Amino acid sequence: MITNAESKLKDFFNDDKIILSPINYQKTLKIIASFRKGSLKCETKNFSGIKTIIWLRVSDNQKFHIEFFISKGKAKIVAVRKGRYECLAEANINTEIMTMLGKGFHRIRLIGEQADIHLLLTKIA
């Protein structure tokens, strides 16, 4: 039997309204996140839902180095600012990216369905 909470978790992955919302919904066995010297490191086990993992101050056309590996499930990482969002990664990736949402504070949100994830996101000066 699927509970109402479980059915809501499955709807998060592509729902723009929920992605832009400030509210977090999650069901997970483990989530560990840390931010040091301009780098965000995050690991999850069996993560389902949506969660803001950090607020970052970003300059115009900010570059990042991103390592995003999904060993199980489905996941993506997005940057949200002023009612818009940009997908930073939706598959295994190890590269440099540039955000196009402009200067200001960005909410970095993790979205997943039963996902085991490793994320390393570093701002490049």
pLDDT digits (tens, 9 = 90+) for 1-49: 444 555 555 567 888 999 999 999 888 889 999 999 889 999 999 999 9
Compute CA distances 35 → 19, 27, 69, 72, 84, whole Å: 22, 22, 18, 24, 24
Rounded Cα–Cα distance for residues 50 and 82 (Å): 18
pLDDT at 112 over 80: yes
Q: Give domain 4-124's CATH architecture.
A: Sandwich (2.60)
For the chain, the average pLDDT equals 87
| CA torsion through residues 78, 74, 114, 95, sign | negative
Calculate mean pLDDT across residues 87-100: 89
pLDDT digits (tens, 9 = 90+) for 66-85: 999 999 999 999 999 999 99
| Domain boundary assignment for the chain | 4-124
The helix/strand/coil state of 19 is helix
- Rounded to 5 degrees, φ, ψ at 2 are -90, 125
| pTM of the shown model | 0.86
What's the length of the chain? 125
CA 106 distance to own-chain centroid = 11
Rounded Cα–Cα distance for residues 109 and 92 (Å): 16
Q: Give the pLDDT confidence score for residue 1 in this predicted structure.
A: 44
Calculate mean pLDDT across residues 102-107: 90
